Structure 1
């Protein structure tokens, strides 16, 4: 596969992202409301989506471009002691659920990232967060998988190729950070 072919697939997807604009803008409103209420963002994902979770949480806490106050965000993917102890003592399928039970509050917004929409540990954690009363968003690929019917809202990137979906997720995440830079003086 050539570089130009990969670039073409990337561009084709990005030309379709206007189809998720309304959902993305709604998510920005929910994030703003979460911060106004004193809540936090909780990100989680596996593999590349774990890295995206960590990356985006850092952008909210530290800064994106503007000098602004830190915004409360955590990634459930970063504490190796929790991840390994839980996976050893219990099971990896509940590694995020246990953290959700410990850290999630009703005023929080949870973002579960799963390109397939079928990651069992994300599904279980979303259910746990909903039981606590948090608002839950899933970021997935085109079909939304099981998460589409479980999460309160689903941002379904119109693509089935994992790498392209992840590229779109990071783009959306960066746009959300840019939007929070813009409104952070209001929250």
Structure 2
């Protein structure tokens, strides 16, 4: 099967997959937190770190509508924090340390991992829950280790990293659009 054929198959399967339907639940908890002035903290590794920055840019800046900035922080984008903490302590706790710094009860941590097994995101979710925050996971099929630590699991029905990433882009654009609309006039 060609890559484009497989891509079409995964996108079509995603349209009816239960994990994708949970995007509206993610919109609801993110919108509620942001409307209350609580933070949305976003993290990922590698390509998912770029996605975390993209989401943050859309919500701090604007997606489709002119509006006030939203309280969204990318935990994957500060090289000083990432390298200092990882060098002196552990890469496994690089996001949980930042959740400790920026998290607030009622806020949300959105973690992105195609495998769902990123130990540093699992630890961030554990810290978030200890602080009274909600967690949203954007993963591949099944959610991996992150599933057990997620209030909302949005899993793409594939195990192919590039195909999962393609659907993630569509999903987080959907989330950004609906969060933007829900938080207008707050």
Aligned to 1:114: 113
Task: State how far apart, in whole Å, the 1-side matches of 2:116 and 2:130 are.
Answer: 20
Matches within 5 A, 1:5-20: 5-18=2-15, 19=17, 20=19
Q: Give the 4+ runs in structure 1 shifted more than 2 A.
A: 180-187
Partner of 1:79: 78
SS of 1:123's equivalent in the other structure is helix
Listed one character per residue, the Cα deviations across residues 68-116 of structure 1 (whole Å, up to 9, x for unaligned) are 1111111101111111110111111111111111111012111111111
Q: CA offset at residue 183 of structure 1?
A: 2.7
Q: Find the counterpart in structure 2 of residue 37 from structure 1.
A: 36
User: Equivalents in 1 of 2:179, 2:122: separation in Å?
Assistant: 27
In structure 2, what is the Cα distance between the partners aligned to 1:181 and 1:114?
Answer: 23
1:152 paired residue number: 151
* TM-score normalised per structure 1: 0.93
User: Counterparts of 2:26 and 2:181 in 1: how far apart (Å)?
Assistant: 15
Contact 2:59 2:180 (8 Å CA) reproduced: no
The separation in 2 between residues aligned to 1:22 and 1:186, in whole angstroms, is 26
Contact 1:69 1:184 in 2 (8 A): no
Q: Where does residue 103 of structure 1 map in the other structure?
A: 102
Does the CA contact (< 8 Å) of 2:59 and 2:176 recur in 1? yes
Query: Tell me, which stretches of 5 or more residues in structure 2 are unaligned?
Result: none
CA distance in 1, matches of 2:83, 2:183: 36
Instruction: Flag structure 1 segments of 5+ consecutive residues without an equivalent.
Output: none
Find the residue that maps to 2:104 and give its secondary structure.
Answer: coil
Match of 1:168 in 2: 167
1:135 paired to 2:134: yes
| Contact kept? 1:41, 1:74, Cα under 8 Å | yes
What's the secondary structure of 1:146's corresponding residue?
Answer: helix
Correspondences of 1:40-55 after superposition (within 5 Å): 40-55=39-54
Residues 1:26 and 2:25 are matched in the alignment: yes
